[in-house]
Chains A and B, each alone.
Chain A
Amino acid sequence: MIPAAFEYKRAASAEEALALLAEHGDEAKLLAGGHSLIPLMKYRLAAPSVLIDIGRLTDLSYVNDGGDHLAVGALTRHRDVEINDLVGAQAPLLAAATRHVGDPQVRHRGTLGGSLVHGDPASDLPSVMLAMGATMVVTGPNGPREIGADDFFTGFLETAVNEDELLTEIRVPKMPDAGYSFQKFNRRAQDWAIVGCAVVVNDGQAGVGLVNMDSRPVRAAAVEAAVASGASPSEAADAAAVDVDPPADLNATVEFRQHLARVLTRRGLEEATA
Chain B
Amino acid sequence: MLRREDPTLLTGADEYYDDLKIPGLAHVHFVRSTIAHATIESVDISEAEGMPGVLAIYTAEGYPGADLDLAPHLPMPLLPPHLAMPIPAKDRVRFVGDIVAVVVAETQAQAIDAGESIWFDYEPLPVVVDPVAAIAPDAPVLFEENGSNICFAVGIAQEDGDPCEGAAHITELTMTSQRLAAVPIEPNGAIAIPEGADLMYWLPSQSPISTRDALAGGLGLDPANVRVAAPTGVGGGFGPKSGAYAEMLLAGKAAQTLGRPVKWTEVRSENMVSLQHGRGMVLKGRMGFDADGTIVGFDAEVIAEAGAYPAIGAILIMFTQTMIQGVYTIPKLRYDAKAVVTNTTPTGAYRGAGRPEATQLLERLLDLAADEMNVDPADLRRKNLIPADAFPITTHGGANYDSGEYVAALDKALEAADYPAMLAEQKARRDSADPKQIGIGVSTYVEVTAPAGLHVEFGAVEVDTDGKVTARVGTSAHGQGHVTSFSMIVADMLGVPMEDVTIVQSDTDVIPRGSGTMGSRSLQTAGSAVHVASETVLDKAKQLAAHLLEASVADIVKADGGGLQVAGVPANALSWAELATAASDDAKRPDGMDPGLAHELDFDGSDATFPFGAHVSYVEVDTETGQVSLLRHVAVDDCGRILNPMIVTGQQHGGIAQGVAQALFEHVTYDEDGNPTAGNLMDYAIPSAAELISWETINTETPSPRNPLGAKGIGESGTIGSTPALHNAVIDAVSHLGVRHIEMPMTPMKIWNAIQEASS
Interface of A toward B, CB cutoff 8 Å? 1-2, 4-5, 43-44, 103, 185, 187-191, 194, 250-253, 256, 259-260, 263
Given A1-B267, A2-B109, A43-B269, verify A185-B627 contact (CB < 8 Å): yes
| Majority DSSP secondary structure for residues of A touching B | loop
Q: How far is the CB of A86 from chain B (nearest CB, A)?
A: 28
Identify the closest chain B residue to A189 (Cβ): B690
B585 at the interface (CB under 8 A from A): no
Instruction: Report B-chain residues with C-beta under 8 Å of the C-beta of A44.
Output: 116
Instruction: Report B-chain residues with C-beta under 8 Å of the C-beta of A190.
Output: 688, 690
Of A4, A44, A256, A263, the most chain B CB neighbours within 10 A belong to: A256
What is the bound-complex CA distance between A16 and B677, given in angstroms?
A: 41
The 3 nearest A-B residue pairs measured at CB: A189-B690, A256-B749, A2-B109
What is the bound-complex CA distance between A5 and B677, given in angstroms?
A: 27
Q: Is the CB of A250 within 8 A of B683?
A: yes
What is the bound-complex CA distance between A188 and B686, given in angstroms?
A: 9
> Beta-carbon contacts of B93-122 to A below 8 Å, as 1s and 0s?
000000000000000110011001000000
Q: How far is the CB of B214 from chain A (nearest CB, A)?
A: 28
Q: How far is the CB of A74 from chain B (nearest CB, A)?
A: 25
Instruction: Report A-chain residues with C-beta under 8 Å of the C-beta of B480.
Output: none
B445 at the interface (CB under 8 A from A): no
Q: Is the CB of A251 within 8 A of B113?
A: no
What is the bound-complex CA distance between A43 and B688, given in angstroms?
A: 23
User: 15 pairs across A/B with beta carbons < 8 Å?
Assistant: A1-B267, A2-B109, A2-B267, A4-B113, A43-B269, A43-B680, A185-B625, A185-B627, A188-B665, A190-B690, A191-B682, A250-B669, A250-B678, A252-B749, A260-B625
What is the bound-complex CA distance between A252 and B751, given in angstroms?
A: 11
Given A250-B678, A256-B749, A256-B753, verify A188-B691 contact (CB < 8 Å): yes
Q: Is the CB of A251 within 8 A of B747?
A: yes
Instruction: Report A-chain residues with C-beta under 8 Å of the C-beta of B113.
Output: 4-5
Identify the closest chain B residue to A1 (Cβ): B267
Identify the closest chain A residue to B677 (Cβ): A250
Of B677, B685, B749, the most chain A CB neighbours within 10 A belong to: B749
B624 at the interface (CB under 8 A from A): yes
B710 at the interface (CB under 8 A from A): no
Instruction: Report B-chain residues with C-beta under 8 Å of the C-beta of A103.
Output: 688
Q: Is the CB of B749 within 8 A of A253?
A: yes
B752 at the interface (CB under 8 A from A): yes
Instruction: Report B-chain residues with C-beta under 8 Å of the C-beta of A5.
Output: 109, 113
Instruction: Report B-chain residues with C-beta under 8 Å of the C-beta of A252.
Output: 749
What is the bound-complex CA distance between A44 and B267, given in angstroms?
A: 14
Of B108, B116, B752, the most chain A CB neighbours within 10 A belong to: B752
Instruction: Report A-chain residues with C-beta under 8 Å of the C-beta of B387.
Output: none
What is the bound-complex CA distance between A4 and B108, given in angstroms?
A: 12
Q: Is the CB of A188 within 8 A of B749?
A: no
Q: How far is the CB of B608 from chain A (nearest CB, A)?
A: 36
What is the bound-complex CA distance between A252 and B624, given in angstroms?
A: 14
> Beta-carbon contacts of B677-713 to A below 8 Å, as 1s and 0s?
1101011010110110000000000000000000000
Identify the closest chain A residue to B628 (Cβ): A187
Instruction: Report A-chain residues with C-beta under 8 Å of the C-beta of B624.
Output: 263
Contact of A251 among B108, B109, B269, B749 (CB under 8 A): B749
Interface residues of B in 259-279 (CB under 8 A from A): 267, 269-270
Q: How far is the CB of A40 from chain B (nearest CB, A)?
A: 12
Interface of B toward A, CB cutoff 8 Å? 108-109, 112-113, 116, 267, 269-270, 624-625, 627, 665, 669, 677-678, 680, 682-683, 685, 687-688, 690-691, 747-749, 752-753
Q: Is the CB of B747 within 8 A of A187?
A: yes
Q: Is the CB of B625 within 8 A of A2?
A: no
What is the bound-complex CA distance between A190 and B691, given in angstroms?
A: 10
Q: How far is the CB of B96 from chain A (nearest CB, A)?
A: 15
Identify the closest chain A residue to B622 (Cβ): A263
Contact of B688 among A189, A251, A260 (CB under 8 A): A189
Of B108, B267, B747, B753, the most chain A CB neighbours within 10 A belong to: B747
Supply 10 further A-B pairs (C-beta < 8 A) apart from A2-B112, A190-B690, A194-B748: A1-B269, A2-B109, A4-B116, A5-B109, A187-B691, A187-B748, A188-B685, A251-B749, A256-B752, A259-B752
Q: Is the CB of A187 within 8 A of B267?
A: no
What is the bound-complex CA distance between A44 and B34, given in angstroms?
A: 14
What is the bound-complex CA distance between A162 and B264, given in angstroms?
A: 42
Contact of A187 among B270, B665, B669, B677 (CB under 8 A): B665
What is the bound-complex CA distance between A250 and B676, given in angstroms?
A: 12
Identify the closest chain A residue to B667 (Cβ): A250
Instruction: Report A-chain residues with C-beta under 8 Å of the C-beta of B680.
Output: 43
Given A250-B669, A256-B753, verify A188-B108 contact (CB < 8 Å): no
Q: Is the CB of A2 within 8 A of B108?
A: yes
Contact of B625 among A1, A4, A188, A263 (CB under 8 A): A263
Contact of B690 among A43, A185, A188, A260 (CB under 8 A): A188
Instruction: Report B-chain residues with C-beta under 8 Å of the C-beta of A189.
Output: 688, 690-691
What is the bound-complex CA distance between A22 and B668, given in angstroms?
A: 44
Q: Is the CB of A187 within 8 A of B685?
A: yes
Instruction: Report A-chain residues with C-beta under 8 Å of the C-beta of B690.
Output: 188-190
Identify the closest chain A residue to B108 (Cβ): A2
What is the bound-complex CA distance between A251 and B667, given in angstroms?
A: 11
Q: How far is the CB of B730 from chain A (nearest CB, A)?
A: 14
Identify the closest chain B residue to A2 (Cβ): B109
What is the bound-complex CA distance between A189 and B665, given in angstroms?
A: 12
Identify the closest chain B residue to A266 (Cβ): B624
Q: How far is the CB of A266 from chain B (nearest CB, A)?
A: 9
What is the bound-complex CA distance between A162 and B112, given in angstroms?
A: 33
Identify the closest chain B residue to A39 (Cβ): B682
Instruction: Report A-chain residues with C-beta under 8 Å of the C-beta of B688.
Output: 103, 188-190
What is the bound-complex CA distance between A194 and B747, given in angstroms?
A: 12
Q: How far is the CB of B129 from chain A (nearest CB, A)?
A: 15
Identify the closest chain A residue to B745 (Cβ): A187
Instruction: Report B-chain residues with C-beta under 8 Å of the C-beta of A256.
Output: 748-749, 752-753
What is the bound-complex CA distance between A24 and B474, given in angstroms?
A: 59
What is the bound-complex CA distance between A256 and B116, given in angstroms?
A: 39
Instruction: Report A-chain residues with C-beta under 8 Å of the C-beta of B677.
Output: 250
Instruction: Report A-chain residues with C-beta under 8 Å of the C-beta of B752.
Output: 256, 259
Given A5-B113, A251-B749, verify A188-B687 contact (CB < 8 Å): yes
What is the bound-complex CA distance between A10 and B656, given in angstroms?
A: 47
Q: How far is the CB of B629 from chain A (nearest CB, A)?
A: 12
Identify the closest chain B residue to A257 (Cβ): B749
Instruction: Report B-chain residues with C-beta under 8 Å of the C-beta of A4.
Output: 113, 116
Instruction: Report B-chain residues with C-beta under 8 Å of the C-beta of A263.
Output: 624-625
Instruction: Report A-chain residues with C-beta under 8 Å of the C-beta of B665.
Output: 187-188
Instruction: Report B-chain residues with C-beta under 8 Å of the C-beta of A188.
Output: 665, 685, 687-688, 690-691
What is the bound-complex CA distance between A187 and B629, given in angstroms?
A: 11
Of B627, B665, B680, B748, the most chain A CB neighbours within 10 A belong to: B748
What is the bound-complex CA distance between A263 and B48, given in angstroms?
A: 54
Identify the closest chain B residue to A262 (Cβ): B624
What is the bound-complex CA distance between A239 and B665, given in angstroms?
A: 31
Q: How far is the CB of B672 from chain A (nearest CB, A)?
A: 14
Q: How far is the CB of A8 from chain B (nearest CB, A)?
A: 14
Identify the closest chain A residue to B669 (Cβ): A250
Identify the closest chain B residue to A195 (Cβ): B625
What is the bound-complex CA distance between A190 and B683, given in angstroms?
A: 12
Q: How far is the CB of B50 from chain A (nearest CB, A)?
A: 16
What is the bound-complex CA distance between A189 and B109, given in angstroms?
A: 33
What is the bound-complex CA distance between A187 and B747, given in angstroms?
A: 8
Q: How far is the CB of B458 from chain A (nearest CB, A)?
A: 40
What is the bound-complex CA distance between A103 and B625, given in angstroms?
A: 23
Q: How far is the CB of B265 from chain A (nearest CB, A)?
A: 10
Identify the closest chain A residue to B687 (Cβ): A188
Q: How far is the CB of A48 from chain B (nearest CB, A)?
A: 16
What is the bound-complex CA distance between A194 and B749, given in angstroms?
A: 10
Instruction: Report A-chain residues with C-beta under 8 Å of the C-beta of B267.
Output: 1-2
Q: How far is the CB of B531 from chain A (nearest CB, A)?
A: 43
Identify the closest chain B residue to A256 (Cβ): B749
Instruction: Report B-chain residues with C-beta under 8 Å of the C-beta of A260.
Output: 625
